[in-house]
């Protein structure tokens, strides 16, 4: 994936998106009707995506800049030319972590997100 994440005037360019997980919740409502065996259902559009995103960085400075920028409380735009299905505007939700890889040469930033637009 060739991805960029833009927030405010800052652009984050991970070397790789290691992991992308997207969930959506159904908003359908089921109703029990007295005297009727089956339920009625009010069909609704699913909610926005939410999940986890793990970014890989070859250089420590890039990883720490991304970690700091993503903590700024801004909306972010994810754009990926190779996989446009993942493109979205999102905000961070829940926890975020930064880690040194097992080879002690590279860094990952992992975060929870929620699509907002």
pLDDT band (50, 70, 90) for residue 117? confident
Query: In this structure, what token pair is assigned to residue 85?
Result: 């299905």
Average pLDDT over residues 77-94: 96
State the DSSP string of 54-99: EEEESSHHHHHHHHHHHTS---EEEEESS-GGG-EEEEEEEEEEEE
- C-alpha 84, offset from chain centre: 14
Average pLDDT over residues 110-117: 96
Mean pLDDT of the chain: 96
pLDDT band (50, 70, 90) for residue 1? low
Average pLDDT over residues 10-22: 96
pLDDT reported for residue 82: 92
Strand 40-42 relative to strand 88-100: parallel, antiparallel, unpaired? unpaired
For residue 30, is pLDDT > 70? yes
The CA distance from 68 to 16, in Å, is 18
The distance in angstroms from the start CA to the end CA of the chain is 22
pLDDT reported for residue 3: 95
Average pLDDT over residues 87-112: 97
- Classify each residue of 84-101 as buried b or exposed e, where b means 16 or more C-beta atoms within 10 Å of its C-beta: eebebebebeeebebeee
């Amino acid at each position: 994936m060739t991805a960029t994440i833009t927030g405010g005037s800052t652009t984050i360019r991970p070397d790789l998106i290691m992991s992308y997980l997207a969930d959506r919740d159904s908003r359908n409502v089921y109703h029990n009707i007295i005297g009727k065996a089956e339920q009625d259902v009010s069909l609704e559009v699913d909610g926005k995506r939410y999940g986890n995103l793990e970014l890989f960085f070859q250089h420590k400075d890039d990883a720490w800049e991304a970690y700091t920028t993503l903590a700024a409380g801004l909306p972010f735009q994810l754009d990926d030319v190779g996989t446009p299905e993942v493109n979205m505007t999102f905000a961070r939700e829940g926890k975020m972590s930064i880690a040194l890889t097992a080879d002690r040469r590279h860094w990952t930033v992992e975060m929870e997100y929620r699509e907002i637009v």
